[in-house]
Amino acid sequence: MRRIVGFGNLTISQQLNTLQGYLKSQEILLFQYYQPNEGVRDGKNDCAEYFEDYCDDVIHYYSPNLQQEINQEVLDILREDIKCSMKAVQEKKKMAEELFIKMKEGDCTGISEEAMEDIKNVVITKLIKYNIDDQVHNFVTERMYGASPWILDEHGKLQNAGGAIWYRPLNEEEYINVLKRTPLFSCISLKDGEKLDDFSFGYVIQETADNYDLLVFSNN
């Protein structure tokens, strides 16, 4: 693995020239579009991270109604978790709303473990399955070269992570726009028409304390 330090200091055109400098005869650059598979998760750590971002309201929702849908499902779970059958419907609704506010502030007192597990599953499933930028997704699928069961990250090829779509921008302008839009990109070089598994080099941006470095992997 080779590291190009300070890659982030280069202009976008210089970054593209650096990547193209690795291309062999008849090779092309394909960029990775990684959309996690809802059935492939990093266990409790993954759920906890999504849940924390949800509670902190730092998630950008591409669908305007998605946040409301998640909130309503969470409130339904909280209302069902209130065990006292003698409570009136309106009283349970008010109690659920109070628990919801406390939960978002980091206080889960009064919520059962089963309910918390259900809530976290709702949050992660909805976000992974439905929180997608349709404009970017359409751009990628229209230029799709192929799909792989592995992804490429700073550790190299990673299996069982949901897989990736690999797409080819149509011209230099599109390559530049992709680099602008995706500063933490991953891409590969391979001969046009060859299988994705036969790529020659993989390129991954790694964020450092001061800048961004480019990691270059040889596909041995």
Q: What's the pLDDT at 46? A: 67
Taking alpha carbons only, the member of 143, 120, 110, 128 closest to residue 32 is 143
Q: What's the pLDDT at 159? A: 82
Spatial separation of the C-alpha atoms in residues 107 and 75, rounded to whole Å: 15
- At which residue do the structure tokens 């502030």 appear? 105
Q: What's the pLDDT at 161? A: 66
CB count, 10 Å around CB of 35?
A: 14
Q: What's the pLDDT at 220? A: 75
CB count, 10 Å around CB of 122?
A: 19
The per-type count for the chain, helices as H runs and strands as E runs, is: 7, 7
Question: Which tens digit of pLDDT belongs to each residue from 126-173?
Answer: 988 888 888 888 999 999 999 999 999 998 888 866 789 999 999 999
Question: Does pLDDT of 43 surpass 80?
Answer: no
Q: What percent of the chain has pLDDT over 70?
A: 92
Instruction: Provide mean pLDDT across the span 195-213.
Output: 94
Q: What's the pLDDT at 40? A: 42
Question: Which tens digit of pLDDT belongs to each residue from 16-34?
Answer: 999 999 999 999 999 999 7
Mean pLDDT over all residues of the chain?
Answer: 89
